[in-house]
Amino acid sequence: MGTRRLEMAAVGGAVSSPAKQATTRPRLPDWFRTVLPTGEKLSAYNQTKNTVTKNTMATVCQEARCPNIHECWGRGTATFMIAGEECTRGCRFCAVGTIKSPPPLDVDEPARLADSVFTMGLSHAVITVVNRDDLTDSGAAHYKQCIAAVNELCPDTTLELLCSDLAGDFNALSMLLHDSPLAVFAHNVECVPRLDKTVRDHRASFSQSLSILEEAKRLRPDILTKSSIMVGMGETVAEVIEALQMLRASNVDIITLGQYLAPSEKHLAVSSFPTPEQFEEWGDVAKEMGFSAVASGPLVRSSYRAGELLAQIVQSDM
């Protein structure tokens, strides 16, 4: 079927100020060409899409307009998004919609999520969430119920939660992680610290994100922690390395780095496209720092091939 340039965005990124917004979207470099699925992969893609539709599940693949949706769904994997399709925060990089007062949580969602994971026969499932600042526990109890439902129906499936910062609430985090079957607790710092105010909602920050990751590791040292940085929004090479150092000093086990792509002309603009060689260099630096697993590349996203990164760690520990 050939290739098609996919100008889509994924969750995460560092951005420039609104005043410097480009009037037209920049042309993507050639390394952003991706291959659409054919044959068995196309069948797997359609089956994944049908399962998601049947169970009325939201996926971050769709909501964040991830450029890897054809590859991942073509391998029969998807990253589920729970607690609603709109977020209470308005980060300037994100394709997910913003709402001040979301609808109540869906009490049937845990069962539908579990059924989706079971139907797809996933060996590793990634569950991500929207921010729910309208709830006293930021949604932690609902997240816990979803994880428990999947684990009960699919006990052999390893589970990864890409969590919000829970508004910095350590009590909510402790409740969420207590006796949790999670293999990976992930939370994204999104960008280098200097760009927080440009990139993220005013309720989020690198320091708050780092504190959640640190506390998660303190509470459950047996659970792997994971984070992600998006680049191409004005950060320097040195700032990326400094951010990696801060994450590793907080005992984060897994790191991913990828290119920010603006979801639309209304979002903050991309300032640069680091080369694949630069991503490879950052990846090598991260490995030297001691991260247990690293994924670094233009199309890498926080949940990209998550099961493979976990498998790398499991195999190295054997």
Encoded tokens for 137: 């526990």
88 in Cβ contact with 134 (< 8 Å): yes
Among 74-83, 146-155, 251-260, the range scoring the smallest mean pLDDT is 74-83
pLDDT of residue 80: 87
Q: Residue 73: pLDDT above 70?
A: no
The predicted pLDDT at position 266 comes to: 82
% of the chain at pLDDT higher than 90: 58
Closest CA to 190 of 181, 199, 177: 199
State the pLDDT at residue 2: 38
Residue-wise pLDDT tens digits, 284-297? 999 999 999 999 99
pLDDT of 3 over the 60 cut: no
Return the pLDDT at 151. 97
Q: What is the rounded average pLDDT of the residues 55-72?
A: 60
Mean pLDDT value of segment 181-185: 97
The fold adopted by the segment(s) 3-13+29-317 is TIM Barrel (3.20.20)
Query: Within 10 Å of residue 76's Cβ, how many Cβ atoms?
Result: 18
Tens of pLDDT along 5-41?
A: 333 333 333 333 444 444 456 677 877 676 666 777 6
What three-state secondary structure class fits 310? helix
Is the pLDDT assigned to residue 77 strictly greater than 70? no
90-104 pLDDT, tens digit per residue, is: 998 888 889 999 999
How does DSSP assign 164-227, residue by residue?
--GGG-HHHHHHHHTT---SEEE---BS-GGGHHHHS-TT--HHHHHHHHHHHHHH-TTSEEEE
∠ at Cα 217 (213, 162), nearest 5°? 50
**In the prediction, which pLDDT does 67 show?**
63
Beta strands 124-129 and 158-162: pairing type?
Answer: parallel
| Phi, psi dihedrals of residue 154, rounded to the nearest 5° | -130, 70
**Residue-averaged pLDDT of the chain:** 84
pLDDT at 232: 94
pLDDT of residue 26: 66
Q: How far apart are CA 226 and CA 307, in angstroms?
A: 13
Q: Report the C-alpha gap between 149 and 37 in whole angstroms.
A: 31
- Residue of higher predicted confidence among 194 and 116: 194
Here the tokens at position 211 are 């504190």
Phi/psi at 189 (nearest 5 deg)?
Answer: -80, -15
pTM: 0.84
pLDDT tens readout for residues 185-240: 999 999 999 999 999 999 999 999 999 999 999 999 999 999 999 999 999 999 99
Q: What is the pLDDT of residue 24?
A: 53
